[in-house]
Amino acid sequence: MKTFKRIFFLLSLAMIFACQNEQDKVTKPKNVILLISDGTGLSQISSAYFFKDTEPNYSRFQNIGFIKTSSSKEDVTDSAAGATAFASGVKTYNGAIGVDPDTTKVATLIELVQHKKVMTGVIATSSITHATPACFYAHQVVRRMHEDIALDLSKSDVDFFAGGGLKFFTERKDSIDLTKKMSDRGFYINTEKLDQIETIKDQNKVGFLLAENAMPKMQDGRGDFLQNATQLGMDFLTNDKGFFMMVEGSQIDWGGHDNDADYTVAELIDFDNAIGKALDFAEKDGNTLVIVTSDHETGGFTLRSKRKKRENGKEYSDYSEVDISFSTTGHSATLIPVFAYGPGAEEFKGIYENNEIFHKILDATQWTSKK
Ligand code: MG
Ligand code: ZN
């Protein structure tokens, strides 16, 4: 009887450990997709619920938190400080690309994961050298150094990129054709269109530069670029060691700066479609953490009731109709939502600083651990 009890006890222990190992496996994602909608607060997201014909993909998230977005110096951040916080985990000054408040270079996620052979990608609807994507691979003291940022990209560890900004590679003050340089180094560069996965799957590294500067607006016929690039990036980067990919809906911010409601909403809906692609992939894959957030809000975008005039000339608010108004042509300091899906997603609940996103990704993946 005693022996039986002992065996039973040992068996139970073994089962507990087995379960724990199983749990470790499930909670540690292999891939991370970080989708950033530049200049998007809760009101812009809410607009999808009024103006998108189908249920927004935001509805598919259960784990939701908020970030505080102030930079190291300013209450109201810009995209450079915001993206440096996400990419390198440090708060810095507005305009800084991958450098800390003393202008010292800080390692980015893309640089940090190289020792684990994790593959990496960057996608944007702006120039690929614009502040948000730049912070993931470049180090410059001011964001306007597009040609220097392009040079940083050409020497970086990025395996896949897609966006605009061709002129910063080919029409440079130093007369160097960076696309040629990159091709010579084994990079497959296409400046015409996104390829099918079959065309690029055997390439080492792939880059798409599909506009001289920014990609066209949705309203000017950009089409499905963002969701197709997101799909292509996930398909290309899938490998044994996992991948990290940043996807930016860059122009939601620009609609806000322009106080152009139609521009903002069209870009937001496009971004929501890219979220859909990432979530479809993650649901099927089961081992991918998807995080959706923004660097800051732009425009003081408000979904107010429609102002109308009575016959006697008096104004009133018609609560049966929403209308969009703006309070600024700049950024605002409102808290920004964070949506997470997949292994480790629970860690993104709560209210915390924007640079915590970086630490939470590394805690979830253990990408910087020695093992
Ligand atoms: Mg941006
Ligand atoms: Zn902006």
- pLDDT at site 189: 98
Question: What's the 248 CA to ligand 1 centre distance in angstroms?
Answer: 7
First to last CA, the chain: 43
How many folded domains does the chain comprise? 1
Question: What's the 252 CA to ligand 1 centre distance in angstroms?
Answer: 9
Does residue 163 sit within a domain?
Answer: yes
Question: What's the 37 CA to ligand 1 centre distance in angstroms?
Answer: 8
- Where the chain has pLDDT below 70, the residues are 1-5, 7-26
- pLDDT at site 103: 98
Does residue 113 sit within a domain?
Answer: yes
CA distance 12 to 278: 39
Helix axes 42-51, 261-285, angle to 10 degrees: 90
- pLDDT at site 270: 98
User: What pTM did the predictor assign?
Assistant: 0.92
- pLDDT at site 370: 80
Among 293, 354, 368, smallest CA distance to 75 is for: 354
Question: What's the 143 CA to ligand 1 centre distance in angstroms?
Answer: 11
Does residue 185 sit within a domain?
Answer: yes
CA distance 250 to 37: 6
DSSP letters, 246-292, are EEEETTHHHHHHTT-HHHHHHHHHHHHHHHHHHHHHHHHHSSEEEEE
79 a catalytic residue? yes
Proximal ligand: closest to the CA of 78: 2
Does residue 6 sit within a domain?
Answer: no
Does residue 4 sit within a domain?
Answer: no
- pLDDT at site 253: 98
Single out the catalytic residue among 43, 79, 126, 332. Answer: 79
Does residue 12 sit within a domain?
Answer: no
Question: What's the 280 CA to ligand 2 centre distance in angstroms?
Answer: 29
- pLDDT at site 342: 98
Range of the domain at 173: 29-365
Does residue 8 sit within a domain?
Answer: no
Does residue 21 sit within a domain?
Answer: no
Proximal ligand: closest to the CA of 37: 1
CATH number for position 38: 3.40.720.10
- Give me the count of residues in the chain: 371
Proximal ligand: closest to the CA of 254: 2
